[in-house]
Chains A and B, each alone.
Chain A
Amino acid sequence: MNNLIKKKKIGLIVNPFAGIGGRVGLKGSDGIETVKKAIELGAVSLAPERAVIALKRFSILQKEIELYTYPYEMGEDEAKDSGFINPIVIGTILKGETTPEDTKKAALKMAKCGVELLLFVGGDGTARDIYNAIDSKVPVLGIPAGVKIHSSVFAITPQHAGDLVEKFIKKDLPLCAKEVMDIDENLFRKGKISAQLYGYMNVPFERKLIQGAKSRSSFSTNKVREIAQFIVNNMGEEYYYILSTGTTVKAIGDILRIDKTLLGVDLIYKKKLIGKDLNEKDLLKFIVGKRVKIIVTVIGGQGYIFGRGNQQISPQIIRMVGKKNLIVIATQDKLISLGRSLLVDTGESECDKYLSGYIKVITGYNEESIWKVEC
């Protein structure tokens, strides 16, 4: 009977060296050199243990899925330790000497096998590798095992990841585009943190449905589109609009039927695209002497509205446009998930201070919130 039920195909890739640097004081674990150093310092990788925590949460449903994974420490071992009896092991590796190339190959292979959800255990680097391999073609879910995670494609904890997979197996979950952040780990290690928006991948999510509700007041679950529609309906003819990065801002482009650059800054005037993927110089050329507004959203899980993928909107531009012409858009869910203030890192502390304080955030059609901005 079981053959008649279509089994969901789930992929599992473990980056065995993710998080290895953390406990011995190394930041990040890119590169064989860093890894070797860490092992010398007695480091043990976190990734396998995290993988098992997540896998155990849904191993009871293994008969309903086909689990594709890579050999040995890149997933096979962890799957078996979690009680999976027959994982489908594909590919080959050199045991103990895996590299980011293996991660990329694994992702490509699993995509070819028709995997419907790709689980990966690692950090921002692992997420980047997978994104480079398969872009946003296959839904993914990150199980966090890195030092400090900036990308939003990860679940909060391995337990959360496991629970979400369990739900995914039982029913179709909607997908949401989440950020992959790029961190120059060398700079990171030298204390200069600078995570940049690198790309987007699709991640399943589950909206909490409240049982026994006795009151309803809002009827749109597609808040992003609502926000974008509100912006479009209230756009002034005489204003130039600098559209920053991110999916919430991209939705504005969707409504205007403009191919908004997801990872770059575009310029709009009279609801038409004037400039695409502009840098600071280009922007300045257009906006000097004009009436301008900037539309930004929250990038990444840390809550940055400036400094994590939109440096083109420089302190000079920000000052020229003025704080009162800054429009921040984000869904309530996003704001709540931050659990803290919004952050700015324009590269210039004066400008950061200028932006700090309380700011209005547009959270829906005719819905706003007030949020604190800190630097």
Chain B
Amino acid sequence: MNKHFVHRYIPNTAPGIREKMLKEIGISDVEQIYNEIPEKIRFKGKLDIPAEQLSELEVLKQVKTILIKNKTIENSLSFLGAGCWPHYVPALCDEISGRSEFLTAYAGLEATDLGRYQALFEFQSMMGDLFAMDVVGAPVYDGLSASGDAILMAAKITGRRELLVPETISYDRLLVLKVYSEPWLSIIKVKSRRNTGELDLNDLKTKITNNTAAVFIENPTYLGVIESQCKDIAHIAHDYGALLVAFVNPISLGILTPPGEFGADIACAEGQPLGNHISCGGAMLGILACHDEKRFVSAIPSFLITITKTSVKGEYAFSWHTAFDEKWERIVFTARDKAKSFTGTSSALWAINAAVYMALLGPKGFRQIGEVNIQKSYYAIKCLSKIGGIKVPLFSSMHFNEFTVNFDRTGKTVEEINKALLKRGIMGGKDISKEFPEFGNTAIYCVTEIHSKEDIDRLTKALKEVIQ
């Protein structure tokens, strides 16, 4: 053991300390502690990891050199969305979530960590206003796992075994739902109307039964369509005793009916658009919301931060909801084979960004951002539809943020088009021709408030050239 090893992140490596502490413990060598690990399984080899520590400057240089190999949506014009959306991140968000207290806190008591509890309570509250729902949990991992949690809630609450999803559901979401639902639910797809892209209510009516735990819908859908029939779908679901689970886009909730008002029992969402950088899909947060009823509250897997009082009059505190009431537990226990779920460390820091974002925007800000997103995306739709060979969008409904662009009549695949666009410094929309072969050569284009008129005009021009 090199006793002179000193490291900036390990203060006790300063000379002289090790001996003192070992003496206090009553041993001469740290190996005596590791004797707890049986000799034959002790690793004695050499690890193929850089042996020497690097100085901070070297770390910065090395990592930055690798990172600048990336192209970004700043130096390239990008129209990618499909699960991670490029919205403007106000400066306040990074300032607040960069505060080391928020950044490095974890699991302290309510009294030491009042700030993070309150921030998360405010996150829950503001999300509740956006959703028009009364119970919102602390965030889960991301919108996909939130979708998984939501359907498990429905399984727990109803005790039933079938889940209905739209056939145009996000491909990644379906993969995650399959994993989560495997032991508890079977998934049945409901057709969409080919012309509007909305759910086919007639098909829904034929497929829903008394064994349906939930009808799962997306609004807007994966393909960008605004599902206008949400209230009707809710009625159909409720007629059969099934729950309506709705996945929504929080950015759209300034202008679209929130899930609490169209009859959703459980709502889930991806919170990344609210004040979080796209960061290669790293800054995601899953949102779960439900009614303030015992059967829902006991089924929601998220931590639920709850406001309470203290021994001092007028003082607020925030803590975890703890379900412990023997009497009402019995009402809740209806399911035969109660579906189980789990939770843990998830996405609090990103939720703090979202809280700051929601506060900054306020009611009018959400209306405005919804408006601007629709205006810009429809400007793009109009421009692109003038290009020969392109059908945009595939569906006649109104869209939010994203829309399908079909290239069948150009004779080119989406892959070819995207590669050509890339040469012009443009990242085209997500290629969904493998996910949905029934839609042919189609891509999902995303236009948000960050795209300027010049950006959209540039895309139009480039596509025209590429298609010729």
Using CB atoms and an 8 Å cutoff, list the residues of chain A in contact with chain B.
174-175, 207, 209, 211-222, 225-226, 229, 233, 365
Decide: B299 and A219 in contact? CB cutoff 8 A: yes
Kindly state whether residue B333 has any CB partner on chain A within 8 Å: yes
Kindly state whether residue B320 has any CB partner on chain A within 8 Å: yes
Decide: B107 and A212 in contact? CB cutoff 8 A: yes
Set of chain A residues within 8 Å of B329, measured between Cβ atoms: 220-222, 225
Kindly state whether residue B316 has any CB partner on chain A within 8 Å: no
With A174-B326, A222-B326, A365-B338 in contact, do A216 and B303 touch (Cβ < 8 Å)?
A: yes
Which of these, A211, A214, A218, contacts B344 with CB under 8 Å?
A: A214
| Interface size, B (range) | 20 to 34
Which of these, A209, A212, A214, A220, contacts B322 with CB under 8 Å?
A: A209
With A209-B324, A365-B338 in contact, do A214 and B333 touch (Cβ < 8 Å)?
A: no
Taken residue by residue from 275 to 316, chain B's Cβ proximity to chain A (1 for < 8 Å, 0 otherwise) reads as 000000000000000000000001101010000000000000
Instruction: Please name 11 further chain A to chain B contacts, defined as beta carbons within 8 Å, in addition to the given A175-B326, A216-B303, A229-B336, sorted by A numbering.
Output: A211-B110, A212-B107, A212-B113, A215-B342, A215-B343, A215-B344, A216-B344, A221-B323, A222-B326, A226-B338, A233-B337
Decide: A214 and B107 in contact? CB cutoff 8 A: yes
Decide: A225 and B345 in contact? CB cutoff 8 A: no
Which of these, A221, A225, A226, contacts B324 with CB under 8 Å?
A: A221
Within the complex, what minimum Cβ distance (angstroms) separates B143 from chain A? 21
Residue of chain A at shortest CB distance from B183: A366
Q: What are 14 A-B residue pairs whose CB atoms fall within 8 Å in the complex?
A: A174-B325, A211-B110, A214-B344, A215-B343, A215-B344, A216-B301, A216-B344, A218-B340, A219-B299, A222-B326, A222-B333, A225-B329, A233-B337, A365-B337
Decide: A219 and B323 in contact? CB cutoff 8 A: yes
Within the complex, what minimum Cβ distance (angstroms) separates A22 from chain B? 36
Set of chain A residues within 8 Å of B338, measured between Cβ atoms: 220, 226, 365
Decide: B109 and A233 in contact? CB cutoff 8 A: no
In angstroms, Cα B324 to Cα A219, docked, is 10
Tally of contacts, chain A with chain B, CB under 8 A: 62
Decide: A216 and B343 in contact? CB cutoff 8 A: yes
Kindly state whether residue B171 has any CB partner on chain A within 8 Å: no
Set of chain B residues within 8 Å of A207, measured between Cβ atoms: 324
Question: Of A207, A215, A219, A365, which is in contact with the most chain B CB atoms at under 10 Å from its CB?
Answer: A219
Decide: A211 and B343 in contact? CB cutoff 8 A: no
Which B320-371 residues have C-beta < 8 A from chain A? 320, 322-326, 329-330, 333, 336-338, 340-345
Residue of chain B at shortest CB distance from A217: B342
Set of chain B residues within 8 Å of A221, measured between Cβ atoms: 323-324, 326, 329
Kindly state whether residue B108 has any CB partner on chain A within 8 Å: yes
In angstroms, Cα B107 to Cα A209, docked, is 15
Kindly state whether residue B436 has any CB partner on chain A within 8 Å: no
Residue of chain B at shortest CB distance from A223: B329
In angstroms, Cα B303 to Cα A221, docked, is 16
Decide: A219 and B107 in contact? CB cutoff 8 A: no
Decide: A229 and B333 in contact? CB cutoff 8 A: yes
In angstroms, Cα B324 to Cα A207, docked, is 9
Set of chain B residues within 8 Å of A212, measured between Cβ atoms: 107-110, 113
Within the complex, what minimum Cβ distance (angstroms) separates A202 from chain B? 12
Residue of chain A at shortest CB distance from B325: A174
Residue of chain B at shortest CB distance from A176: B326
Set of chain A residues within 8 Å of B341, measured between Cβ atoms: 219
Which B5-22 residues have C-beta < 8 A from chain A? none
With A221-B329, A365-B338 in contact, do A213 and B107 touch (Cβ < 8 Å)?
A: yes
Within the complex, what minimum Cβ distance (angstroms) separates A365 from chain B? 6
Which of these, A213, A218, A219, A365, contacts B320 with CB under 8 Å?
A: A213
In angstroms, Cα B253 to Cα A296, docked, is 56
Within the complex, what minimum Cβ distance (angstroms) separates A314 from chain B? 35
Decide: A222 and B330 in contact? CB cutoff 8 A: yes
Within the complex, what minimum Cβ distance (angstroms) separates B183 from chain A? 10
Decide: A216 and B342 in contact? CB cutoff 8 A: yes
Set of chain B residues within 8 Å of A217, measured between Cβ atoms: 340, 342-343
Set of chain B residues within 8 Å of A222, measured between Cβ atoms: 326, 329-330, 333
In angstroms, Cα B341 to Cα A371, docked, is 26
Set of chain A residues within 8 Å of B337, measured between Cβ atoms: 233, 365
In angstroms, Cα B320 to Cα A301, docked, is 33
Within the complex, what minimum Cβ distance (angstroms) separates A244 from chain B? 23
In angstroms, Cα B324 to Cα A175, docked, is 12
Listed from nearest, the 9 A-B pairs whose CB atoms lie closest are A215-B344, A222-B329, A214-B107, A212-B107, A174-B326, A217-B342, A209-B322, A211-B109, A212-B109
Within the complex, what minimum Cβ distance (angstroms) separates A321 from chain B? 27
Within the complex, what minimum Cβ distance (angstroms) separates B224 from chain A? 36
Which of these, A211, A220, A233, contacts B333 with CB under 8 Å?
A: A220
Set of chain B residues within 8 Å of A226, measured between Cβ atoms: 333, 338
In angstroms, Cα B322 to Cα A225, docked, is 19
Set of chain A residues within 8 Å of B319, measured between Cβ atoms: 211
